[in-house]
Structure 1
Amino acid sequence: MRWLPALALLGALVCTARADEHSHKYTDGEEVVLWFSTVGPYDNLQESYDFLSLPFCVGTKEVHHRHESLGEALLGVQLVNAGVDIKFKEDVLKTEFCTKEMSRADVNDLREAVQNKYFYQMFVDDLPLGAYVGEAEGDNISFFTHRHFNISYRDDRIIHVKITTGDTLALPEKGTADPVFRVPFTYSVTFTETDEPFENRFNKYLDRDFFEHKIHWFSIANSFMMVLFLFGLVALIMIRTLKRDYARYDSEQGLLDLDRDLADEYGWKQVHGDVFRAPSRLSVLSAFIGTGVQLVVLAISIIVSAMAGDMYLERATILTATIFLYAFTSFLSGYVSAATFSSYSGRNWVRTMFLTAAFWPATVAIVANIVNFAAISIQSTRAIPFGSMVAIIAIWLLVVFPLTFIGYVVGKNFTKLPNFPCRVNPIPRPIPDKIWYTQPAAIIGLAGLFPFASIFIELYFVFQSFWTLRIYYVYGFLFLVFVMLVLVTACVAIVSTYLLLNNEDHRWHWISFLSSGSTALYVFGYSIYYFVTKTKMHGFFQTTWYFGYIGLLCVGLFLLLGTVGHWAADKFVSRIYRNVKID
């Protein structure tokens, strides 16, 4: 215990010695660090390479790599200190900070980079900067050797940083350069005082004309009108159709005649003895529902946190928060999966528990490894470091799996025995032939259209943000769209379930899940359209990256919406059969 004061003092000294970009406060003459990040083609922003993979150089002033967070490492963010001498509020005239000896191969690499519009990124005080490697005019190709930084400040804080490039150096024709020649790289810095407050310093990076366009409000109105329409449809089913059926039952002599009446009726009343039968592949459905509930909670938590805390201000903060929130909500997935499995008297609980704990992490791991091999093949920074892989595996082994197991044990032991309104017949009732549009495949295919129609405009904004340099910040819009997506999905699941039961088909468990989750197929179809018409992406890696992670998004959306739909259908079925209880 006597060492605690000394350790506390050492910790304070260490925190004081850290780069001031962490506190965003500087004293006059204090060092301002310029970080070089990645470089890659502007049209293929996900195809990023280490900055020094091109024949650039850094200064000799304490050059080191920055330790990235887990999210930054997974996104391929690699920061290297530029080694230039920048002091707060001290201008720097044009100064050479390094010299690069270029070979013929270096010149050829630079020519190819300029022709492919290579774009490099930098950071100063966590503010992003970017510039092209060079410029091409016909056969004349040149690259920039000078960078000028205009840094705006207020009091002891940096508000804006602007970069301009200059001093173009013409590159010789490919294969005709001298074996080695020396290229000096220079920089200059100007500090300018501003009255803009520190809280607004990211406003210049936010494309308000794009994200706050009236079309965004139109998407909200479109979703809201669809919610009203589907609510009206559900109300029509619940109030008119079912109420009329119940009134007919009440007019009969009594409950003793109910079996005789049901034998003479058609529709949803006929399947009262099979509607609460355990669904096929109960283990898989339970694992899907448990994972889906966890993803619903995760999505709401991330969106609300982003709304409250402006998480877009820090690199990869959302990804890092998502990983740890998923890990610590694993208890919930285990509990819900066990509750679902036990409610239908499932027996093989060990398999269900392992499936719940492993399905989503295994899906993510498969996609990430496929993309990782593609990244390694081109030596991209998008390749996940081995240390990050070990960290993710450790999180699953030490947090996700134990919490899922604990949640499953609690759910299994505290779930009440099934008490369904209707007795389950020992022999399943045959399912009659139906019209084509009441077939399960047709219901599943058509049901996903309505939720997709409520979000497809917002999808465009999300895709534009993720696949371009735009920063997505309108999380209030996203939250409203998400809420209405959940409501539309629930209504569609109820209508689909009623249509299915009314045609004497009792297989509502999987149909409600699949019909709600089929929205993910429409999202994937839209992603193909977006890839072909809205992007300039090309190449094996870019295509693998795009469709790999879009596919992962769609799997998560399938589980999330499928769970919402199954929950709504379960409540609907329990409600309508409550007055048709058979002794």
Structure 2
Amino acid sequence: MKSPSADFSLSLSVFFTVRSTHTLSIPMRSTVRSFSFIALVAFLIVSPTFASESDHKYQPDDPVTLWVNKVGPYNNPQETYNYYSLPFCHPIGEMAHKWGGLGEVLGGNELIDSQIDIKFQKNMEKTTICDLELDEAKVKQFKDAIESSYWFEFFMDDLPLWGFVGNLHPDKNSDNNKHVLYTHKNIIVKYNKDQIIHVNLTQESPKPLEVGRALDMTYSVKWIPINVTFARRFDIYLDYPFFEHQIHWFSIFNSFMMVIFLTGLVSMILMRTLRNDYAKYARDDDDLETLERDVSEESGWKLVHGDVFRPPRNLVILSAVVGTGAQLALLILLVILLAIVGMLYIGRGAIVTTFIVCYAFTSFISGYVSGGMYSRNGGKNWIKSMILTASLFPFMCFGIGFLLNTIAIFYGSLAAIPFGTMVVVFVIWAFISFPLALLGTVVGRNWSGAPNNPCRVKTIPRPIPEKKWYLTPSVVSMMGGLLPFGSIFIEMYFVFTSFWNYKVYYVYGFMLLVFLILIIVTVCVTIVGTYFLLNAENYHWQWTSFFSAASTAVYVYLYSIYYYYVKTKMSGFFQTSFYFGYTMMFCLGLGILCGAVGYLGSNLFVRRIYRNIKCD
């Protein structure tokens, strides 16, 4: 397979943007590195940069560090390895590492000082890095990397540079392609006064890979002054034509019109239908014969008033997922707002760090919603409910992550999570998230009070009559996710493309609108499904309303399968496992979030309509 061009001009840089903002993997290193994370928990959480580059200001001839990061197949974004896993020129002596924040570590980055001599505003002519002696093993490694289109990532002053390891050139003497390795790196740095604004890397001098040959690995540096301000230096990595395309704007407008139409339709149908139902059920006893005839002709939701508030099956599980979903809804809203205000996409791993910290501190919400719901439905084992609420989603993600981590360790990839980082994440959960969930549960169950249902629950459950197939809970549940998925379908394409195709997602204003649209559409569709179910005299609306909304995640996962085979060129067991594993985590969170929103909306609707009727 022929590798892409080696010329990494700024016009192509949008195809190689900083993936670590979005990925959720982490490098596996030595025991010393692992335990250093434990000793520096606070530093890992809050520190985005190393102290020497914290102010991003330099004086003439100040040393500027070129950090090497990772290397891997271009078509497999998560399959990355240590840069020096390939036999490039190694630094002399002990390798100096740069430790970033927790999100950067979880992003699978391992920055190592290349020890290449670069000084601020000082041009460097062609200078030798080292003489690379090629033996059979090195040639094989480089050839395998070139055939797999290996690319690498460097950082200078927290700005990324990219390049391909080599290329395949036609061989004049045979029908086969010749493997060539780029031996010269031309670094172009643009600066404004005492700050670096842009960096770019072009590669030259391709040399054939031959056993016994010595390659002169060289570099050069050119400094160019520009007038771009430091605050605008990251704009070059944002793909404005892609994310702000007319299709993106049109999809937002289309989803917004769907919300207006759907909410209006739901309001008209339900208000008119319920008004007629109220008028029929509120008739005097003198009109009893007409009432009985109407009821026999059209069964209604009032007939199940004695069972509609019966506690659902597996109350402890339902309370846990609803509480977790409420927390995730608040979490997503909070992270989106912080991303809009703070431009979190600029920092390596800033989104991941923000997500983890906000998840820990919003755990109070999950406990509060879960504890209140469990208490209002007559639950007694609140400790079990609290533990399940606090651990359900994290442990599901841990289970998937454990399998992916095992695969990453087997492959020796930077995606493997070291033990020290696992301890850091566990400490955050155990000492922040879990206690807040416990506090929320205690507050929720004490403030919820005794069950206060509009209608008394009868002792003997009412038999549920058989209805047409489209009124069964399973069909209502699967159909309920279609419209919510339709409202976010286009945005899912942009999110998936940014995550899996080297683009920085920065249009969080669009994401906020789509998220609010998803919430509104989910609530409206779930309310309609609940009303149809109750009219069919089926009072098991609690789990049905949850699954009706949660089924949105099923359609998103089906779309991810289509995206994998049609929109990407990923291959191999490693990347396939990570793609569907990460997507599974995302869809689990999305399903729990939508399910909780759907249940809470249906719960308010059911209580509202039964509060306005005469219950015997």
Using the size of structure 2 for normalisation, the TM-score is 0.88
Q: Which residue of 1 aligns with 2:166?
A: 134
Against the structure 1 CA distance between its residues 254 and 225, is the aligned structure 2 distance closer, same or farther, given a 3 Å change threshold?
farther
Q: Which residue of 2 aligns with 1:562?
A: 595
- Return 48-57 or 182-191, whichever deviates more: 182-191
Q: Which whole-Å deviations, capped at 9, do the CAs of 1:208-258 have from their partners, x for residues lacking one? A: 111000000111122112112221221123321001121233442499999
Residues of 2 paired with 1:303 and 1:256: CA distance?
56
Report the CA distance between 1:103 and its aligned residue.
2.4
1:476 aligns with 2:514: no
Q: Which residue of 1 aligns with 2:444?
A: 411
Contact 1:449–1:522 under 8 Å retained in 2: yes
Q: Which residue of 2 aligns with 1:577?
A: 610
Q: Which whole-Å deviations, capped at 9, do the CAs of 1:112-156 have from their partners, x for residues lacking one? A: 111111000011111111000011123211111111111000011
Which AA in structure 2 matches 1:201? Answer: R
2:75 to 38, 43, 57: 43
Q: Which residue of 1 aligns with 2:5?
A: none
Residues of 2 paired with 1:261 and 1:409: CA distance?
50
Contact 2:188–2:221 under 8 Å retained in 1: yes
Contact 2:50–2:98 under 8 Å retained in 1: no
1:282 aligns with 2:282: no
Residues of 1 paired with 2:409 and 2:447: CA distance?
48
Against the structure 1 CA distance between its residues 259 and 574, is the aligned structure 2 distance closer, same or farther, given a 3 Å change threshold?
farther
1:533 to 566, 569, 577: 566
Counting only pairs closer than 5 Å after superposition, residues 245-256 of structure 1 correspond to structure 2 as 245-253=277-285
Residues of 1 paired with 2:391 and 2:291: CA distance?
45
Counting only pairs closer than 5 Å after superposition, residues 394-405 of structure 1 correspond to structure 2 as 394-405=427-438
- Return 564-573 or 218-227, whichever deviates more: 218-227
Q: Which residue of 2 aligns with 1:183?
A: 215
Residues of 2 paired with 1:89 and 1:386: CA distance?
41
Which AA in structure 2 matches 1:23? Answer: D
Residues of 2 paired with 1:409 and 1:573: CA distance?
26
Contact 1:59–1:98 under 8 Å retained in 2: no
2:188 to 133, 145, 150: 150
Report the CA distance between 1:483 and its aligned residue.
0.5
Counting only pairs closer than 5 Å after superposition, residues 344-363 of structure 1 correspond to structure 2 as 344-363=377-396
Higher relative contact order (CA 8 A, sep 6+): 2
Q: Which residue of 1 aligns with 2:151?
A: 119
Q: Secondary structure at the match of 2:55?
A: coil
Q: Which whole-Å deviations, capped at 9, do the CAs of 1:165-201 have from their partners, x for residues lacking one? A: 11222112xxxx23xx543321111110001111211
Which AA in structure 1 matches 2:269? Answer: I
Report the CA distance between 1:204 and its aligned residue.
1.2
1:168 aligns with 2:198: no
- Return 60-69 or 229-238, whichever deviates more: 60-69
Which AA in structure 1 matches 2:578? Answer: W
Against the structure 1 CA distance between its residues 278 and 259, is the aligned structure 2 distance closer, same or farther, given a 3 Å change threshold?
farther
Q: Which whole-Å deviations, capped at 9, do the CAs of 1:322-357 have from their partners, x for residues lacking one? A: 111111111111111100000011011121111111
Counting only pairs closer than 5 Å after superposition, residues 205-354 of structure 1 correspond to structure 2 as 205-253=237-285, 266-354=299-387
Q: Which residue of 1 aligns with 2:115?
A: 83
Contact 2:325–2:594 under 8 Å retained in 1: yes
Q: Which residue of 2 aligns with 1:6?
A: none
Which AA in structure 1 matches 2:223? Answer: F
Against the structure 1 CA distance between its residues 399 and 256, is the aligned structure 2 distance closer, same or farther, given a 3 Å change threshold?
farther
Aligned Cα root-mean-square deviation (Å): 2.1
Contact 1:58–1:84 under 8 Å retained in 2: no
- Return 184-193 or 312-321, whichever deviates more: 184-193
Q: Secondary structure at the match of 1:147?
A: strand
Residues of 1 paired with 2:208 and 2:570: CA distance?
28
Q: Secondary structure at the match of 1:470?
A: coil
Residues of 2 paired with 1:99 and 1:59: CA distance?
13
Q: Which residue of 2 aligns with 1:98?
A: 130
Q: Which whole-Å deviations, capped at 9, do the CAs of 1:515-547 have from their partners, x for residues lacking one? A: 000000000000000001111111111011000
Residues of 2 paired with 1:473 and 1:303: CA distance?
10
Which AA in structure 2 matches 1:109? Answer: Q
- Return 299-308 or 392-401, whichever deviates more: 392-401
Q: Secondary structure at the match of 1:43?
A: coil
Report the CA distance between 1:19 and its aligned residue.
4.6
Residues of 2 paired with 1:60 and 1:184: CA distance?
17
Residues of 1 paired with 2:304 and 2:532: CA distance?
13
Contact 1:159–1:198 under 8 Å retained in 2: yes
Q: Which residue of 1 aligns with 2:418?
A: 385
Q: Which residue of 2 aligns with 1:553?
A: 586
Report the CA distance between 1:99 and its aligned residue.
3.5
Q: Secondary structure at the match of 2:611?
A: coil
Q: Secondary structure at the match of 2:413?
A: coil
Report the CA distance between 1:500 and its aligned residue.
0.3
Q: Which residue of 1 aligns with 2:65?
A: 33
Residues of 2 paired with 1:248 and 1:116: CA distance?
72
Against the structure 1 CA distance between its residues 164 and 76, is the aligned structure 2 distance closer, same or farther, given a 3 Å change threshold?
same
Which AA in structure 2 matches 1:79? Answer: L
Q: Which residue of 2 aligns with 1:515?
A: 548
Q: Which whole-Å deviations, capped at 9, do the CAs of 1:437-486 have from their partners, x for residues lacking one? A: 11111111111100000111110011100001111111111110110010
Report the CA distance between 1:45 and its aligned residue.
1.7
In the alignment, structure 2 segments of 5+ residues that lack a partner are 1-46, 171-176
In the alignment, structure 1 segments of 5+ residues that lack a partner are 1-14
- Return 97-106 or 59-68, whichever deviates more: 59-68
Which AA in structure 1 matches 2:103? Answer: G
Q: Which whole-Å deviations, capped at 9, do the CAs of 1:5-55 have from their partners, x for residues lacking one? A: xxxxxxxxxx9x965432111122212111101000111121101000001
Q: Secondary structure at the match of 1:87?
A: coil
Q: Secondary structure at the match of 2:53?
A: coil
Q: Which residue of 2 aligns with 1:3?
A: none
Which AA in structure 1 matches 2:493? Answer: Y
Report the CA distance between 1:75 and its aligned residue.
2.1
Q: Which residue of 1 aligns with 2:23?
A: none
Contact 1:55–1:102 under 8 Å retained in 2: no
Q: Secondary structure at the match of 1:44?
A: coil
Percent of aligned positions that are identical? 48
Q: Which whole-Å deviations, capped at 9, do the CAs of 1:340-375 have from their partners, x for residues lacking one? A: 000011011121111111111101101111111111
Q: Which whole-Å deviations, capped at 9, do the CAs of 1:493-523 have from their partners, x for residues lacking one? A: 1000001001000011000000000000000
Residues of 2 paired with 1:233 and 1:436: CA distance?
24
Which AA in structure 2 matches 1:532? Answer: Y
Contact 1:92–1:188 under 8 Å retained in 2: yes
Against the structure 1 CA distance between its residues 548 and 129, is the aligned structure 2 distance closer, same or farther, given a 3 Å change threshold?
same
Q: Which whole-Å deviations, capped at 9, do the CAs of 1:356-415 have from their partners, x for residues lacking one? A: 111111011011111111111111100111110111111122112111111111212221
Contact 2:161–2:199 under 8 Å retained in 1: yes
1:463 to 496, 499, 502: 496
Q: Which residue of 2 aligns with 1:524?
A: 557
Q: Secondary structure at the match of 1:384?
A: coil
Using the size of structure 1 for normalisation, the TM-score is 0.93
Q: Secondary structure at the match of 1:486?
A: helix
1:494 aligns with 2:527: yes
